[in-house]
Amino acid sequence: MSIFSALINADKTTRPQPPPGFSKLSVVEAEKAIAGNICRCTGYRPIVDASKSFASNVDIEDLGLNAFWSKGEKNANVDKLPLYSSGGICTFPDFLKTEIRSSLNLIHSLTESYQSNHATLSEECWYHPHSVNELFDLLSSGQCANEYNVKLVVGNTASGVYKDLDPYEKYIDLSGIPELSVIKKDNTGIEIGAAVTISKAIEVLKEENGTLVFSKIADHMNKVASHFVRNSASLGGNIIMAQRSQFPSDIATILLAAGSSICIQRVSERRVLTLEEFLESPPCDQNTLLLSIQIPRWDSVSKSSDINGHLGYEESTILFETYRASPRPLGNAVAYLNSAFLVQISFSKNSGNHILDNLQLAFGAYGCKHAIRARMVEKFLEGKQVTAAVLNEAIRLLREMIVPEEGTPSPGYRSSLAVAFLFKFLYPLAKGLSSERCNNGYVNSSLDMGSKDGFPNQLDRGDLPLSSNQVLGFNKDYFPVGEPITKAGAELQASGIFFFLIIVL
């Protein structure tokens, strides 16, 4: 998704009209639109600033335009700004027109081949079945007898992760199977076909306004990869990568905490498994097809007078939260650890007590084969009220469970992240838990969030816009040596004219 696509989508919304000369695009949307699309060595900050200049809520200080007038000037001298253009007519380069024509011809030829039976490409290396039965007929035929030379794909974005593990000679595109793109909604939840893109899944989940679990899942999915990857990558493909290739998937973790289940088909047999059972199964082969993912509707049980036998508790509600820590809050960055917690809480208005029920605590990407449920911690917290002693014991049990595999970078940092996320989730529910009781206790020693292992002390910042402010102090001892002076020709270089002259000369 480009910055221009973001502009178009922003104009379709019902937001109020921005000031003249600005669009409805926000600063955060502009940053997300280019996240993952450009290399940071090309000068990421000026490109981000240029993108943000379209936004209605941009701060002129962020754009650095004050560099064109002296400090202390009350009114900016617009004449000092570089001209946008020389007034000449800009034409589209002919060599790029040729490239576009060739790509359109390729797309046209692919479309024609898709419409034929089995939709093969040259030398029968690409297949496009139109039903599940046609797929399994193709897999059982002699054309795809060797499973190590055949790959099932939708967007094939996995090739960007496993670049050196793509020895396949034949590909089977699953996007043409209607059954894999079905989306069903009912009182029990939402069923999403395995071939549905992550972007489409986010859109579907956001349509459930006021539904906590669906809303949180959609928000977290927005942090996975970048726009153009989510527009191609399928939800089922992400789950398959987590199950078969030990991919540190955020989506598998949050769906595991939400109690999701999956439907798979192997030749003529269909089975429904919990996501936990599927992840713990042996790596599936090409004869196992993931059909859909079912996400239950938890908010339908948010009110009750008797939860798991706890009589006398007047209300109950669902809490659901997801967490991740990664090198960058936006763009392609695999998490050091991700987690998601769902708990049903029984609450008494008279006593103010909270009792935990139906806990589902999931952790992943910390140096493990796949996302897991913290079963021991769940069993310990079941039916208890959160106190300092209970929280300390839960943390002790969690530290015993979250043990990264040998060879995982900075295992201590990842384990401390798991503890920190659980503490952050449960602390608001704690009764009689003060900072003084934690300072010398086990809780404080478990929350070592330093960077001893080389990782930055950075958690996910959510939707905060990227912003920076440089404050430089200058030594006057050797003045004017050290005084910042604009380089001669800097404006020419920044505009690109300097490099154009070099090429011409």
Strands 261-266 and 288-296: antiparallel
Report the pLDDT averaged over residues 362-377: 96
- Can you tell me the distance from the alpha carbon of 190 to that of 183, in angstroms, rounded to the nearest whole number? 7
Least confident among 334-348, 359-373, 402-416, 430-444: 430-444
For residue 44, count other CB atoms closer than 10 A to its CB: 15
Strands 310-311 and 306-307: antiparallel
Least confident among 265-269, 372-376, 377-381, 399-403: 265-269
- Which amino acid makes up residue 455? F
State the pLDDT at residue 204: 96
Going from the C-alpha of 104 to that of each of 98, 108, 119, the distances in angstroms are 10, 6, 18
Four-point Cα dihedral 322, 404, 325, 157, nearest 10: -90
Going from the C-alpha of 178 to that of each of 129, 185, 451, the distances in angstroms are 10, 17, 49
* Intra-chain end-to-end CA distance of the chain, in Å: 37
Per-residue pLDDT reduced to its tens digit, 69-103: 666 666 655 566 555 455 555 566 676 677 666 55
- Would you say how long the chain is, in residues? 505
**Residue 499, φ and ψ in degrees, nearest 5:** -70, -30
State the pLDDT at residue 289: 95
State the pLDDT at residue 12: 60
Whether the Cβ atoms of residue 457 and residue 449 lie closer than 8 Å to each other: yes
Report the pLDDT averaged over residues 174-188: 94
Report the pLDDT averaged over residues 35-40: 64
Q: Which domains does the chain have, with CATH numbers?
A: 3-80 (no CATH), 102-298 (3.30.465.10), 302-462 (3.30.390.50)
Nearest to 495 by CA among 77, 21, 86: 86
Instruction: Specify the residue for token string 């967007």.
Output: 155
The pLDDT mean for the chain works out to 77
Per-residue pLDDT reduced to its tens digit, 450-495: 334 433 333 444 455 556 666 666 677 777 777 777 877 777 766 6
Least confident among 184-193, 250-259, 350-359, 381-390: 350-359
For residue 2, count other CB atoms closer than 10 A to its CB: 13
Percent of the chain with pLDDT over 90: 41
- Can you tell me the distance from the alpha carbon of 361 to that of 340, in angstroms, rounded to the nearest whole number? 6
Highest mean pLDDT among 14-28, 153-167, 278-292, 439-453: 278-292
Whether the Cβ atoms of residue 244 and residue 282 lie closer than 8 Å to each other: no
Least confident among 199-208, 211-220, 431-440: 431-440
Using left for φ > 0, alpha for ψ between -120 and 50, and beta otherwise, residue 483 falls in: beta
- Can you tell me the distance from the alpha carbon of 392 to that of 402, in angstroms, rounded to the nearest whole number? 15
The 3 state secondary structure assigned to 392-419 is HHHHHHHHHHCCCCCCCCCHHHHHHHHH
Least confident among 32-41, 205-214, 413-422: 32-41
Nearest to 418 by CA among 462, 382, 367, 485: 367
**How are strands ordered across the β-sheet holding 337-347?**
315-325, 337-347, 354-364, 372-373
Whether the Cβ atoms of residue 46 and residue 34 lie closer than 8 Å to each other: no
Whether the Cβ atoms of residue 289 and residue 310 lie closer than 8 Å to each other: no
Q: How many whole angstroms from its chain centre is CA 306? A: 37
Whether the Cβ atoms of residue 377 and residue 395 lie closer than 8 Å to each other: no
The 3 state secondary structure assigned to 427-455 is HHHCCCCCHHHHHCCHHHHHCCCCCCCCC
State the pLDDT at residue 303: 43
- Cβ burial of 447 (10 Å; 0-12, 13-18, 19+) is middle
- Can you tell me the distance from the alpha carbon of 85 to that of 24, in angstroms, rounded to the nearest whole number? 25
Nearest to 236 by CA among 278, 205, 270, 269: 278
**Residue 213, φ and ψ in degrees, nearest 5:** -60, -50
Per-residue pLDDT reduced to its tens digit, 377-423: 999 999 999 998 999 999 999 999 999 999 999 999 999 999 999 99
- Which amino acid makes up residue 402? I
Whether the Cβ atoms of residue 68 and residue 81 lie closer than 8 Å to each other: yes
State the pLDDT at residue 349: 67
500: three-class secondary structure by DSSP: helix
Provide the whole-model pTM.
Answer: 0.73
6 or 150, higher pLDDT:
150
- Which amino acid makes up residue 85? S
- Whether the per-residue pLDDT at 438 is higher than 50: the answer is no
Report the pLDDT averaged over residues 261-284: 94
- Can you tell me the distance from the alpha carbon of 353 to that of 347, in angstroms, rounded to the nearest whole number? 6
Going from the C-alpha of 221 to that of each of 180, 206, 218, 350, 362, the distances in angstroms are 20, 11, 5, 39, 16
State the pLDDT at residue 11: 65
- Whether the per-residue pLDDT at 260 is higher than 90: the answer is yes
Report the pLDDT averaged over residues 128-156: 85
Residues 6+ apart with CB under 8 A from 447: 416, 419, 420, 423
**DSSP per residue, 197-255:** BHHHHHHHHHTSTT-HHHHHHHHHHTTSS-HHHHTT-BHHHHHHHHHHS----HHHHHH
